[in-house]
């Protein structure tokens, strides 16, 4: 059984979206492949990013079929929550679920391709420059806004943060958004959220202090917490 949910604004792409499970492996341009695979497809003068999620093992097949929504559905629904809260993420287009014997088998999430073509990973361990510092400060401001709006990205890694220049500052987008929690984010949660960025202690310190000032926390305390959680992550 196939379930296809399409944003009404993209009804004109219904035929393409409906065929994705049949054409995904033979068409499109792969831009990332590990557990999941991302491809770019061009249709109707637009570029779409299609994420094919890894086929879940049996326990997760049962869980996604009975207990909770699939990753594809969550990514789609979370995108609308972010947009409604004025947090940038690529425009959601559709999600697809394929079930066999009543259990989830394949799933796909479709979004418009982001206009931002830089990933936060290029900042990791980069030389200290004015641009690098500016990116870090703007990122701290961005994440403080995310947390102020009760959004907690559980997979905040360099590859899941896109950015680019906008007017006189750097703007950011969150991707890979199926794993999120929507709840008040206190100082400890917020500081822990940075632990998977894999940047230097000096870079962490810049983020921590500007993040603290934006959220009304003590900068010294935030810096200590961010570095503590970072070291704990490295030991795991």
161 pLDDT band (50/70/90 cuts)? very high
Cross-strand bridge partners of residue 50: 39, 110
pLDDT tops 50 at residue 1: yes
10-28 pLDDT, tens digit per residue, is 999 999 999 999 999 999 9
Question: Which pLDDT does position 83 carry in this prediction?
Answer: 98
pLDDT tens column, 115-156: 999 999 998 878 889 999 999 999 999 999 999 999 999 999
User: Between the CA of residue 67 and those of 31, 76, 176, 179, what are the distances in Å?
Assistant: 32, 18, 21, 15
Give the Cα separation of 113 and 91 in Å (integer): 8
Helix (H) or strand (E) segment spanning residue 204:
helix 201-215
* pTM, two decimal places: 0.93
Q: Note whether 34 and 54 are within 8 A (CB).
A: no
Q: Which of 225, 164, 155 is nearest to 197 (CA)?
A: 155
CATH number at 118-235? 1.10.510.10
């Amino acid at each position: 059984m196939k379930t296809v949910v399409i944003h009404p604004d993209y009804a004109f792409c219904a035929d393409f979206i409906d065929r994705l499970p049949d054409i995904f492996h033979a068409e499109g341009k792969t831009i990332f492949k590990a557990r999941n695979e991302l491809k770019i497809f061009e249709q109707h003068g637009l570029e779409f990013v299609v994420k094919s999620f890894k086929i879940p093992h049996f326990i997760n097949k049962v869980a996604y079929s009975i207990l909770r929504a699939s990753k594809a559905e969550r990514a789609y629904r979370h995108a609308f929550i972010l947009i409604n809260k004025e947090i940038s993420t690529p425009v959601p287009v559709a999600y697809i679920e394929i079930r066999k014997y009543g259990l989830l088998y394949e799933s796909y999430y479709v979004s418009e391709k982001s206009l931002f073509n830089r990933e936060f990973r290029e900042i990791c361990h980069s030389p200290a420059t004015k641009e690098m510092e500016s990116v870090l400060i703007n990122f701290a401001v961005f994440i403080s806004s995310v947390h102020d709006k009760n959004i907690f990205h559980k997979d905040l890694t360099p590859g899941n943060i896109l950015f680019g220049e906008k007017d006189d500052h750097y703007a950011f987008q969150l991707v890979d958004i199926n794993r999120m929690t929507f709840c008040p984010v206190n100082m400890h949660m917020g500081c822990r959220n940075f632990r998977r960025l894999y940047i230097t202690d000096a870079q962490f310190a810049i983020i921590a202090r500007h993040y603290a000032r934006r959220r009304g926390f003590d900068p010294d305390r935030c810096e200590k917490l961010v570095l503590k959680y970072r070291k704990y992550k490295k030991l795991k």
